[in-house]
Amino acid sequence: MIHKFKLSGYNVLLDVNSGGVHIVDDLTYDLLDRVEPPFGDVCPEDVMARLSRTYPAEEVEECYEEIVSLYNDKILFSEDDYEKYALAAVASPVKAMCLHISHDCNLRCKYCFASTGDFGVGRKLMDFETAKRAIDFLIEKSADRKFLEVDFFGGEPSMNFDVVMQTVEYARSREKETGKTFRFTTTTNGMHLTDEMIDFINNEMSNVVLSIDGRKEVNDRMRVRVDGTGSYDVIIKNFKRLVDKRPKDKDWYVRGTYTKYNLDFSEDVMHLYELGFDQISVEPVMADPKEPYAITEADLPRIFKEYEVLAEKIAKIRAEGKFINFFHFMLDLDQGPCAIKRLRGCGCGNEYVAVTPDGDIYPCHQFVGVDEYKMGSLYDGSFDTQIKDDFAKAHVYTKPECKKCWAKFYCSGGCNANNYIYQGDIHAAHKLSCQIQKKRLEVAILMKALQLIDTAE
Amino acid sequence: MKHIKTINKANLKQTAAKGGCGKCQASCQSACKTSCTVANQKCEKEA
């Protein structure tokens, strides 16, 4: 399978199954509309007759030979032979956990997928006993996995920070005896970050996600306090304190959500950059199309253009020798994850689970409260391996739209939760997400390709 | 080549042979939580 696209004056050709990326001229681009394996020794007569109206015949023949040569080298029209690996990660250990340390929040963000913090199941904080059981569960189910990931999530985790600290201390106390290494991460809205919390996060958390949408008027329209006032002025100060003190070897991102209200979201990315935040993730809201802020199909042309605008702005910053990183343009074309990892996305429900304050286990944070996907409980020892198997088997070859999609080894079948929530089935690709994802990938592939050309020269 | 410039190593096939160790990060633990991108992650397999 190949995929080709035109962007910013370049013709980009992707060989899906080898991961090969090629920049091609117009002749190659047009010729590839008309030829495919099996290839003969010379360009087919009808194709030559058609293309020689536009291009010199000898050039067409030469180009044809180049295509055949790359095909013979297995970096063009290469075979998809990964399906045999799809069963490899069934019955995988559980190695990652989203720990819902707080089903309460001190903001009332209008687009919150967690029903403004309580996930629709009531405001509640996790107690230490439950968190401790969660750590024990993760160790027990992780088999030979050395690195275990725990994300303190909410709601707002800082509302239950004492338990966060106790849990980290407990998990660390079990590292030596079990041979495991814990990697902690958290997300915070920044409303009540004390110096003690900042120091703890910076010492213990390998990544921290700082929620802010961008410009003050954009942020304060959606990210509001209980009394309806905006959060921007408070969180900016707190996030700056955290980032200023953050060790250089630890990750962090400011992360925003864009909605129909700010389809010019590249302005928000630039605003965050100008404030001194150079690790940025801004992504589309996922919401019921009936919501006034929801992104719909009609918004896509505008959004696609905006990603191109954003790429130009980022390229300009980098051309000045400055650093900026946009999460959804990050792509490693040579040393990224292996093909097997790429068959099934985040691993939710299989190697990744979420645990609620009540100790209930779900495939991920977005499934919390969906009864049919409750996998078990830390308090009665139950853990439904049938649900786990169902998620393990939800990979790019069992998702009909993904199987034939050029982007499948980049998004890896997308978000199962979005598939379930908006399409009714974890195997049914959420079309809106897919379209946005594909555009981001095209932009990212070209950006990376140009960067590699620059480096080579 | 005159018409086609290959940019990268195109080595996805080779990664399958020695891949699947499971050491890399679960992608949702990064900076998204509402979408899924895997290709931006690092391979953590020890050489």
Q: What is the pLDDT of residue B33?
A: 76
B10 vs A contacts (CB less than 8 Å) = 15, 18-21, 75
Pairing of the two strands A181-188 and A147-153 = parallel
- Is A351's Cβ below 8 Å from some Cβ in B? yes
- Is A24's Cβ below 8 Å from some Cβ in B? yes
Q: What is the pLDDT of residue A216?
A: 98
Q: Which of B3, B13, B36 sits opposite A24 (nearest CB)?
A: B3
Taking residues A425-437, what's their average pLDDT?
95
CA A221 to CA B42: how far, in whole Å?
A: 36
Taking residues A56-80, what's their average pLDDT?
97
CA A99 to CA A365: how far, in whole Å?
A: 9
Q: What is the pLDDT of residue B46?
A: 67
What are the strands of the beta sheet with A10-15, ordered from one edge? A2-7, A10-15, A20-24, B4-6
Give Cβ neighbours of residue A211 (< 8 Å, ≥ 6 apart).
A187, A188, A189, A190, A223, A235, A254, A255, A256
Going by C-alpha positions, the residue among A91, A96, A87, A143 that lies closest to residue A385 is A91
Position of tokens 């990060």?
B25
Hey, what long-range contacts does A307-314 have (CB within 8 A, 24 or more apart)? A307/A266, A307/A439, A307/A440, A307/A443, A308/A7, A308/A8, A308/A443, A309/A266, A310/A265, A310/A266, A310/A269, A310/A443, A311/A8, A311/A443, A311/A446, A311/A447, A312/A8, A313/A266, A313/A269, A313/A270, A314/A447
Taking residues B16-39, what's their average pLDDT?
79
CA A230 to CA A89: how far, in whole Å?
A: 45
Model confidence at A163: pLDDT above 70: yes
- Range with lowest mean pLDDT among A18-32, A72-86, A194-208, A245-259: A72-86
- Is A204's Cβ below 8 Å from some Cβ in B? no
Taking residues A437-449, what's their average pLDDT?
96
Question: Residue A182: helix, strand or coil by DSSP?
Answer: strand
A345 vs B contacts (CB less than 8 Å) = 27, 36, 38
> How crowded is residue A401: how many other Cβ atoms within 10 Å of its Cβ?
18
Taking residues B14-39, what's their average pLDDT?
80
Interface of A with B in 140-199 (CB under 8 A): 145-147, 149, 151, 153, 183, 185, 187
Q: Which of B10, B28, B41 sits opposite A337 (nearest CB)?
A: B41
Model confidence at A373: pLDDT above 90: yes
Say yes or no for a CB contact (<8 Å) between B40 and A327: yes
The distance of A202 to chain B (nearest Cα, Å) reads 16
Say yes or no for a CB contact (<8 Å) between B4 and A67: yes
Q: What percent of chain A has pLDDT over 70?
A: 100
Chain B: residues touching A (Cβ < 8 Å): 1-13, 15-16, 18-45
pLDDT, greater one: A171 or A341: A171
Mutate to test the interface with B, among A30, A211, A338 (most CBs of B within 10 A): A338
CA A407 to CA A318: how far, in whole Å?
A: 26
Provide the whole-model pTM.
0.95
Q: Which DSSP letter does residue A286 get?
A: -
The distance of B2 to chain A (nearest Cα, Å) reads 8
Position of tokens 């939760």?
A417
Q: Give B47's pLDDT tier (boundaries 50, 70, 90).
A: low
Give Cβ neighbours of residue A457 (< 8 Å, ≥ 6 apart).
none
The distance of B46 to chain A (nearest Cα, Å) reads 12
The number of helix segments (H) and strand segments (E) in chain B equals: 1, 1
Q: What percent of chain A has pLDDT over 90?
A: 91
Q: What is the pLDDT of residue A115?
A: 83
CA A396 to CA A83: how far, in whole Å?
A: 9
Q: Which of A257, A283, A339 sits opposite B15 (nearest CB)?
A: A339
Q: What is the pLDDT of residue A89?
A: 63
Determine whether A224 is exposed, middle or buried from the number of CB atoms within 10 Å of its CB (0-12, 13-18, 19+): middle
Going by C-alpha positions, the residue among A396, A455, A444, A394 that lies closest to residue A420 is A394
- Range with lowest mean pLDDT among A37-46, A98-107, B28-37: B28-37
CA A72 to CA A47: how far, in whole Å?
A: 20
- Is A352's Cβ below 8 Å from some Cβ in B? yes
Going by C-alpha positions, the residue among A420, A427, A429, A293 that lies closest to residue A366 is A420
Question: How confident is the model over A344-368, as pLDDT tens digits?
Answer: 888 999 999 999 999 999 999 999 9
Mutate to test the interface with A, among B37, B41, B43 (most CBs of A within 10 A): B37
Taking residues A32-48, what's their average pLDDT?
97
**Nearest residue of B to residue A336 by CA position?**
B42
pLDDT, greater one: A102 or A332: A102
Determine whether A398 is exposed, middle or buried from the number of CB atoms within 10 Å of its CB (0-12, 13-18, 19+): middle
Question: How confident is the model over A195-219, as pLDDT tens digits?
Answer: 999 999 999 999 999 999 999 999 9
* Contact call for residues A11 and A24 (beta carbons, < 8 A): yes
The overall average pLDDT reported for chain A is 95
Q: What is the pLDDT of residue A244?
A: 98
Q: Which of B7, B10, B27 sits opposite A18 (nearest CB)?
A: B10
**Nearest residue of A to residue B39 by CA position?**
A410
Cβ–Cβ pairs < 8 A, chains A and B: 218
Question: How confident is the model over A259-318, as pLDDT tens digits?
Answer: 999 999 999 999 999 999 999 999 999 999 999 999 999 999 999 999 999 999 999 999
Q: Give B40's pLDDT tier (boundaries 50, 70, 90).
A: confident
Structure tokens at B29: 């633990």
